[in-house]
Structure 1
């Protein structure tokens, strides 16, 4: 894209692949970065493992693979929770546009609380137990259905209301997610603060979220931006709506540019080395910034279903601008197969932090701003782009990146983690999380 004001650029979807690819190309050329060694010779093992999972779950019916999104997590356990709820709405006479709004309400809330839950937390319902991302998804679904996210649960139970989120108490949050001393959720305070800030953002931006201060009002806002003859809208329009509407929810202390918070963006010394004197901005701070916007990307992937399949049935173009998601399942996959190897001096640092936190002594832990985590996330995005090409070549098909993530990399990361670490089934590197990253 054309680079204009730095803050605007770093909030754009285009900046994610552009800034992280600088790091990936540098590490690929040298076979190492500041924190990891890279061995692309191990990639065929990843492809073999991943394609085996695709064959197991989908055979050769590649067209049946859905794009990666929160929808599948909410339906975890072989249930059709969302489809059943939609059927209930239709029987009650809810129109298709409102169904689209309702789905955006639920999915936006569910995605934004979907940071790493930790290895101890569980959610139980109807005799079934869920953990990690699926657990958070199922818990958010039941809070939504029970009216716990609406400020008028009698008349509009299936709605997410800004005022309700802004006023949510720790007691309500803990009850909804079944949190207790025996069932701790990682980043509990940070997650609740994010929910409250989401409520404030919904209330404070009526242009996008309407007078009812609900996420689903963006359906109407986007309709005002689209080509009404074809219902066509560009991915950047959806992206900018989310970034403009939600930019104020991110925690203080994150990277800011021109006095503005720019979301899931971090500085990385490896990028300075990679850029050298040819940095885009000729400014060490700006040239060190890499952007991920993981939760916003996860959200953008996820709300495309209610936008495209319900209500106005938008035709969304330029979807390939989004990248793979730089989170611990996708990133862990490459570590567990030896494509990425954490350097010894940094592993030692991480193990010391694990010891201090009294967490798993065998798994190194780092904070979100640590160069290990930031470089890991950059390399994950680059490797997922390479993985897409290799998988399509092996299968002789043309899967999209969201399909490869859904059918392969995310599942493969989880399954290899369970093989390598059967006790915790956790990732090979832990994040000391505030509940808003990964």
Structure 2
């Protein structure tokens, strides 16, 4: 059977299939083309994760939430999202519109969530002068996006400020962005221009896909689109397949990704990259590629996956309260906290030639710490690192579950363990920045 390569490479199934082939090749050869792989070091990783889970949850594993943007928006144990829901409910907003508003906020917040760098911090409004609270990285971007949403900066509806409208995003200016995210010469953000352009392209995508995002061009319009696809049971359930959620996001948002990324048959694919290790896996017989699909391509679609993770709770718990099937198709997120965890524990080690290449770029870019390697997103070291991260998270889950005597889901493992553990080991080993062991020279749209 002939496979449409574009359809395949945009599918969620392709993420685990293409990246696992790189992981299998690395397992067979004790590494890939850019990293050595030492699986014996996974036991200390599992022990570290279990200690963090015990510290934060005891044995109350059922209380561990799935990984999602909600927790970041509530940084500092502040129920910001719940406060909005209460405000809307008391104002008589119906449950479907509450779901739309949550998805408006979550989509915008996720799409600005690529690495902000080691310097940028957001000062939370309302902090007392003597206890000003600053937060950086993913949580800082989340809290900043929350306050901008709550202030109506993303709405073009004069009657309702709690919306994200395509027309408002299209006209979003550099000054608006810098003010909202508190960016200055003293508080620089990595890739902020690329992030702004992503917001503007999101606005155009929302306005040009009315069938998915509705006449207002809102991310929350997807609630109504999915309701139209859902199977309604006799018991009143609305059942939707995760692939339908995925396909809607992919169809509606493909145009937001920067030019210069991988293109197949004239169509841009987003977070899809060429990797020599993948081609070697196929040529060596360790892996096979579907007919018509380039053998060197691996797919991540990290921000789309992060969106899926983050949208499932609003879709399941608010509005139509969808029942979503096939959630197991999602993979771990190939980003620097999960990947940094495995590098810091010695599961992964850059090969000498890759390390040398990365250190040269750090010097060229005049990085503050030139002892840490730096790579651009398309470099084989970054692409292979991300592939191996996905494979290692799948490998780690049953090890942790055996130690706990409980079956955590992969999203719970990421939330309670790997994401948090990656952050904590980074802070321990690099307290001056709390940053990852490998730097990404980012445009603000990768991870």
For 1:33 and 1:147, locate their aligned partners in 2 and report how far apart those are by CA, in whole Å: 48
Whether the 8 Å contact between 1:3 and 1:9 is mirrored in structure 2 is no
Q: Deviations over 1:64-103 (max 9, x none)?
A: 0000000000000110000011001101000110000000
SS at the partner of 1:114?
coil
Q: How does 1:418-437 map to 2 (within 5 A)?
A: 418-437=427-446
Aligned to 1:263: 270
Aligned to 2:231: 227
Deviation at 1:378, TM superposition (A): 0.3
Distance 1:3 1:250, change over 3 A: farther
Aligned to 2:404: 395
In structure 2, stretches of 5+ residues that fail to align are none
Name which of 188, 203, 206 aligns with 1:202.
206
Aligned to 2:333: 325
For 2:380 and 2:151, locate their aligned partners in 1 and report how far apart those are by CA, in whole Å: 42
SS at the partner of 1:233?
strand
Q: How does 1:352-363 map to 2 (within 5 A)?
A: 352-359=360-367, 360-363=369-372
Aligned to 1:350: 358
Whether the 8 Å contact between 1:254 and 1:265 is mirrored in structure 2 is yes
Aligned to 1:114: 113
For 2:139 and 2:260, locate their aligned partners in 1 and report how far apart those are by CA, in whole Å: 29
For 2:373 and 2:334, locate their aligned partners in 1 and report how far apart those are by CA, in whole Å: 18
For 2:87 and 2:207, locate their aligned partners in 1 and report how far apart those are by CA, in whole Å: 29
SS at the partner of 2:443?
coil
Deviation at 1:280, TM superposition (A): 1.9
Deviation at 1:12, TM superposition (A): 0.2
For 1:425 and 1:139, locate their aligned partners in 2 and report how far apart those are by CA, in whole Å: 20
Q: How does 1:89-104 map to 2 (within 5 A)?
A: 89-104=88-103
For 1:60 and 1:3, locate their aligned partners in 2 and report how far apart those are by CA, in whole Å: 49
Whether the 8 Å contact between 2:34 and 2:354 is mirrored in structure 1 is yes
For 1:36 and 1:364, locate their aligned partners in 2 and report how far apart those are by CA, in whole Å: 13
Q: Deviations over 1:222-244 (max 9, x none)?
A: 00000122211000000000000
Name which of 247, 251, 255 aligns with 1:248.
255
Q: How does 1:61-210 map to 2 (within 5 A)?
A: 61-125=60-124, 126=127, 127-152=132-157, 154-210=158-214
SS at the partner of 1:287?
coil
Q: Deviations over 1:4-63 (max 9, x none)?
A: 200000000000000001100000011011000000000000000000000000000000
For 1:407 and 1:32, locate their aligned partners in 2 and report how far apart those are by CA, in whole Å: 28
Whether the 8 Å contact between 2:155 and 2:161 is mirrored in structure 1 is yes
For 2:153 and 2:321, locate their aligned partners in 1 and report how far apart those are by CA, in whole Å: 28
Cα RMSD (Å):
1.1
Whether the 8 Å contact between 1:166 and 1:195 is mirrored in structure 2 is yes
TM-score when normalising by structure 2: 0.96
Deviation at 1:358, TM superposition (A): 1.1
For 1:73 and 1:197, locate their aligned partners in 2 and report how far apart those are by CA, in whole Å: 24
Aligned to 1:411: 420
Aligned to 1:384: 393
Q: Deviations over 1:269-324 (max 9, x none)?
A: 001110017542466x7110000000000000000011001000000000000000
Whether the 8 Å contact between 2:2 and 2:291 is mirrored in structure 1 is no
Q: How does 1:26-41 map to 2 (within 5 A)?
A: 26-41=25-40
Whether the 8 Å contact between 2:3 and 2:291 is mirrored in structure 1 is no
Q: Does 1:4 find its partner at 2:3? A: yes
Deviation at 1:263, TM superposition (A): 1.2
TM-score when normalising by structure 1: 0.98
In structure 1, stretches of 5+ residues that fail to align are none
SS at the partner of 2:134?
strand
Whether the 8 Å contact between 1:75 and 1:82 is mirrored in structure 2 is yes
For 1:238 and 1:385, locate their aligned partners in 2 and report how far apart those are by CA, in whole Å: 22
Q: Does 1:372 find its partner at 2:372? A: no
